[in-house]
Amino acid sequence: MIEDIRALARELLEKGTVECVIGYEVGPTGRVRPAFVYEPADVERLIFDARCYHNLVTYLTRRNKPRKKGEEVPTTAVLVKPCDARSLQVLLNENQVQRDKVYIIGVACPGMQNADGTPELRCTRCDQRVPLIYDVLCGEPPEVPAVTDTYDDVERIEALPLEERLAYWLGELDRCIRCYACRQACPTCFCSVCEAERDDSLWVGIADRIPEKAFFHIIRAFHQAGRCAECNACEAVCPMGIPLSLINRKVAKDVAQMMAGYRAGESEEPTPLVTMLTGEEAIDEIH
Amino acid sequence: MKFIETQALHAWLDKLAQEVTLIAPTAVGPEKKAPGSRNPAAQGQQVFYRAVSDSSQIAWDFTRTVISAREHFMPKTETLFTIETGPDGETVLHETKLERPRVIFGIRPCDARGLRVLDAVMLEQEPADVYYAERRRNTTLVGLSCPQMWEDCFCTSVGGAPNASDDVDILLTQVEGGCAVQIVTAKGEELATGMDLQEVEGLELPQPKLNDQFETPTEQQWLASFNDVYWQRVGDRCLSCRICTYVCPTCRCFDVRDETVVTPTGERIVRRVRAWDSCQSVNYRVHAGGHNPRANLEQRLRNRFYCKFHYVPVDYDVAGCVGCGRCVTACPVNIDIREVLQDLARRELA
Amino acid sequence: MSERTSNQVDGFEPKIVAFLCNWCSYAGADAAGISRLELPPNILPVRVMCSGRVSIEMVLKALMAGADGVLVLGCHIGDCHYGSGNHRTVKRIPLLRRLMTYMGIEPDRLRLDWVSGAEAGRFAKITTEFVEAVRALGPLSLPLREGL
């Protein structure tokens, strides 16, 4: 598979189809990291295996802006796994990325692994091994048993008494240091100035206290409603190990339940939170 | 060489915790935070410098804490003062109370060295920062030397050492049965009067295992590299989060805001808050009027390196990086300060 | 619906922030006033152009800044002055109620309902009901409320 990826990357760069190929490489200390390849000679750096967990779609919104006024937006090729492809679809739906300025190299996903070789939990719940959108697909899709995401992790929290839920979340969110890595790693968090970081502190002050931190995480999760592709980039980068996926997955679960099974990035429909009622919703009582 | 037995050391710390605020490396947080996550930070407790009530809470076998000890000199958030309405409708200003004496036990030599940069900026420039000065004055540092350089550590390449005693008041080194004790300053001398010290003839300090040392760029190389495309290439990968600046022992940028808040009892007060800020943030450098001289991500990333290795050394005559390696470990996209330094050091000057 | 047992506090008067849409609910509130209907004094009305304008930030900020409950009132579905503003509201608020429950805050502290300009009686009924419901829940005591 990696030979296919390298050959394709070389061809794209040699022909000038794209300015840059975003993939993965191994850093000098053996850590896998995003790689930006501009020269055909450098394609040998590219790798792909079960450690390539970063969602590279994050970099596309940045590259889809002209560097200087009037300059043309360069075309970028990007390696996407199925989850990354869903987040890319969200960006395409929201006109954050121009389809003709991105060359999508889909990879048949083996499922990502933790450092100890065990599969990432999110990957054991995922039944997609081929991205929903791509220009070229690399690799043979592995067989996967059909799995249904039962949201058992979310249900475990839901089953706690109200007070315990509050205590749990206050404890988890109190560890936050407001480094905003979750937001920065998230492909669908693309506002140029986050409302949690506004100079006028309109919504959230600068202090590192529970109210500010909880506010930030709740609004971020809510802004991802119907948009979060569950790529887990936020949780993977959190230096404090906050289980952010539990918030995002709760919202995703509720959106699917209430909005006729809607799942982010699986269609060209934007998030149902910005569209009209269709009559198919199963919305809860409103009070 | 002075020596203290493990038991005596624990007893001394237990007693100390009664008298002063004892801050020491301690493992905090739940055991299992995000099951199934690939994130190493989610796999167990993490070690921070926190106030402890006795020696049993101390994580003796820690490598380095997640956040450096600077959070106890420049807290992540502090209220400088509040303005409230008094009983007769008058305006009352409450300044934050000064803290009781503190001892930071188990500070690593690199973290202590990082305070040089903070001192240079906050103390040695007029006017000195009173909040920082007060904390610094009231704190005694009991260092614990590293038995080895840990993964990602590079203190020896930037002028430090895992067993350097230069910036602490007392330095302990773990040896068989206890700790060797080096008393460095008068402040340390005073604190050590409570320790049950023994004089052991011929006690040899273990030599820490070192990581490979590497060349750092020269002043000319820094000056020549400012407008290099290299920064764009490193910046390609950067997420522009704040992790590196928040875990750093020498980053010291802050923001100050006045906030109007309603207290739980319904009173309306004004609070002046100082909190950490980061040069990696998009609007860190925005001027009144909207101009942003560091609007691009690679400019912000570059600033972090120039701040440590050019601006601070030139302006304050101290090394801006202590080589603790935290930013290397913590960076989610593996921007490795060691790699950047070596890349620049290899450059040929025109 | 509340999972938390009543923690009624003596003399507790709930503070309620009510976001009223300009075209229907605010007019309904006005009509209730003109008709001299009895209204609870606990309501702090905030006029917004559309219930679809009520973002979750506004709801959360109200709760964190000292409100014990938040009421969102808009035009009936189909009657929105802007056509479909309240279509967003009717998705957003129930979703937020679920997320609030998940994070450990009683969902009944947030209520969405529809009041047209002619429904003065309905306005009085809903506000009275909501104040009593929040009174039964007791004050919202969160560490979140040390002021935002």
pLDDT tens, position by position, A212-243: 899 999 999 999 999 999 999 999 999 999 99
Residue B350 forms part of a structural domain? no
Residue B192 forms part of a structural domain? yes
* Residue A242: predicted pLDDT: 94
> Comparing C-alpha atoms, which of A109, C33, A24, C147 is closest to residue B237?
A24
User: Is the Cβ pair A274, C88 closer than 8 Å?
Assistant: yes
C-beta of residue B115 within 8 angstroms of C-beta of residue B149: no
Cα gap A60→A133, rounded to integer Å: 15
The phi and psi torsions of A248 (rounded to 5 degrees) equal: -65, -40
- What does the pLDDT average to over C31-59? 96
C-beta of residue B146 within 8 angstroms of C-beta of residue B173: no
Residues of C in contact with A167 (CB under 8 A): 104
Residue B255 forms part of a structural domain? yes
Cα gap C95→A258, rounded to integer Å: 8
Q: Please give the structure tokens belonging to residue C98.
A: 């679920």
Exposed/middle/buried for B154, CB within 10 Å: 0-12, 13-18, 19+? buried
pLDDT band at B267 (very low <50, low <70, confident <90, very high): confident
Residue from A163, A224, A286 whose CB has the most chain C CBs within 10 Å, to mutate: A286
Residue from B152, B231, B270, B334 whose CB has the most chain A CBs within 10 Å, to mutate: B334
The residues pairing with B84 across neighbouring beta strands, listed in sequence order, are: B92
How many Å lie between the alpha carbon of B229 and the closest alpha carbon of chain A?
A: 13
User: Is the Cβ pair C95, A254 closer than 8 Å?
Assistant: yes
The phi and psi torsions of B338 (rounded to 5 degrees) equal: -65, -40
How many residues are given for chain C?
Answer: 148
How many Å lie between the alpha carbon of A207 and the closest alpha carbon of chain C?
A: 9
C-beta of residue B234 within 8 angstroms of C-beta of residue B300: no
What residue in C sits closest to B271 (Cα-Cα)?
C147
Q: Which chains touch A (3 or more CB pairs under 8 A)?
A: B, C
Percentage of residues in chain B having pLDDT higher than 70: 99
User: Is the Cβ pair C91, A164 closer than 8 Å?
Assistant: no
Cα gap A247→C61, rounded to integer Å: 19
Q: What is the mean pLDDT of chain C?
A: 89
Peptide bond into B127 cis (omega under 30): yes
Cα gap C72→C17, rounded to integer Å: 8
Residue B331 forms part of a structural domain? yes
Q: Is the pLDDT of residue B5 over 80?
A: yes
Q: Which residue has the tokens 């999972």?
A: C3
User: Is the Cβ pair A203, C61 closer than 8 Å?
Assistant: yes
Cα gap B45→C76, rounded to integer Å: 51
Cα gap A209→A176, rounded to integer Å: 9
The residues pairing with B51 across neighbouring beta strands, listed in sequence order, are: B23
* Residue A146: predicted pLDDT: 81
Q: Is the pLDDT of residue B290 over 60?
A: yes
Residue B327 forms part of a structural domain? yes
Q: What is the pLDDT of residues A246-274, one digit of tens each?
A: 999 999 999 999 999 999 999 999 999 99
Q: What is the pLDDT of residues B94-144, one digit of tens each?
A: 988 777 899 999 999 999 999 999 999 999 989 999 999 999 999 999 999
The phi and psi torsions of B254 (rounded to 5 degrees) equal: -145, 170
Mean pLDDT is highest, among B199-203, C85-89, C141-145, for C85-89
* Amino acid code (one letter) for A114: N
Nearest 10 degrees: Cα torsion A230, A231, A232, A238: -130
Number of Cβ within a 10 Å radius of residue A193: 12
Q: What is the pLDDT of residues B237-248, one digit of tens each?
A: 999 999 999 999
- What does the pLDDT average to over A70-85? 94
pLDDT band at A38 (very low <50, low <70, confident <90, very high): very high
> Comparing C-alpha atoms, which of B298, B255, B256, B259 is closest to residue B278?
B255
Q: Is the pLDDT of residue C2 over 70?
A: no
Residue B71 forms part of a structural domain? yes
* Residue C146: predicted pLDDT: 54
Instruction: State whether residue A175 sits within 8 Å of chain B by CB.
Output: yes
User: Which SS3 state, helix, strand or coil, does residue A105 take?
Assistant: strand
What value, to the nearest 5°, has the Cα angle with vertex A253 and ends A251 and A255?
65
Tally of structural domains, chain B: 1
* Residue A283: predicted pLDDT: 86
Number of Cβ within a 10 Å radius of residue C10: 4
Residues of C in contact with A272 (CB under 8 A): 91
Strand order in the sheet with B77-85: B91-95, B77-85, B268-276, B254-262
Nearest 10 degrees: Cα torsion A205, A206, A207, A209: 60
C-beta of residue A46 within 8 angstroms of C-beta of residue A35: yes
What residue in C sits closest to A216 (Cα-Cα)?
C57
Q: Which chains touch C (3 or more CB pairs under 8 A)?
A: A, B
- What is the span of the domain harbouring residue B26? 2-345
> Comparing C-alpha atoms, which of C49, C36, C62, C33 is closest to residue C134?
C62
Cα gap C132→C128, rounded to integer Å: 6
User: Which SS3 state, helix, strand or coil, does residue B145 take?
Assistant: coil
Cα gap A201→B277, rounded to integer Å: 14
Cα gap B140→C66, rounded to integer Å: 42
Helix (H) or strand (E) holding A35: strand A32-37
Cα gap B257→B79, rounded to integer Å: 10
* Residue C145: predicted pLDDT: 55
Q: What is the DSSP letter of C89?
A: H
- What does the pLDDT average to over A151-156? 93
Cα gap B187→B260, rounded to integer Å: 41
Strand order in the sheet with A32-37: A32-37, A20-26, A76-80, A102-107, A136-138
Nearest to A238 among B39, B43, B275 (CB): B39
Q: What is chain B's alpha carbon radius of gyration, rounded to the nearest angstrom?
A: 22
C-beta of residue B42 within 8 angstroms of C-beta of residue A235: yes
Q: What is the mean pLDDT of chain A?
A: 93
* Residue C4: predicted pLDDT: 38
Q: Is the pLDDT of residue C43 over 60?
A: yes
Q: What is the DSSP letter of B265?
A: T
CB pairs under 8 A between A and B: 148
Helix (H) or strand (E) holding B303: helix B297-306
| DSSP β-ladder status, A76-80 and A20-26 | parallel
How many Å lie between the alpha carbon of C120 and the closest alpha carbon of chain A?
A: 19
* Residue C115: predicted pLDDT: 96
- What does the pLDDT average to over B336-346? 95
* Residue C77: predicted pLDDT: 94
CB pairs under 8 A between B and C: 15
Q: What is the mean pLDDT of chain B?
A: 93
* Residue C10: predicted pLDDT: 65
| DSSP β-ladder status, B198-199 and B2-5 | antiparallel
- Chain A, window 87-106: residues with a beta carbon less than 8 angstroms from a chain B beta carbon: none
- Chain B, window 239-278: residues with a beta carbon less than 8 angstroms from a chain C beta carbon: 259, 261-264, 266, 271
* Residue C6: predicted pLDDT: 42
User: Which SS3 state, helix, strand or coil, does residue B142 take?
Assistant: strand
Nearest to A36 among B43, B236, B247 (CB): B236
Q: What is the pLDDT of residues B300-313, one digit of tens each?
A: 999 999 999 999 99
Q: Please give the structure tokens belonging to residue A50.
A: 């079960």
What value, to the nearest 5°, has the Cα angle with vertex A80 and ends A79 and A83?
160
Q: Is the pLDDT of residue A34 over 70?
A: yes
How many residues are given for chain A?
Answer: 287
Cα gap A106→B260, rounded to integer Å: 51
pLDDT band at C148 (very low <50, low <70, confident <90, very high): very low
Q: Which distant-in-sequence residues (6+ apart) come within 8 Å of A273 by Cβ?
A: A225, A226, A255, C88, C91, C92, C95
pLDDT band at A17 (very low <50, low <70, confident <90, very high): very high
Q: Please give the structure tokens belonging to residue B61.
A: 């076998």
User: Is the Cβ pair C113, A286 closer than 8 Å?
Assistant: yes
User: Is the Cβ pair B34, A246 closer than 8 Å?
Assistant: yes
Q: Please give the structure tokens belonging to residue B249.
A: 């022992």
Nearest to A241 among B34, B240, B282 (CB): B34
Cα gap A37→A43, rounded to integer Å: 6
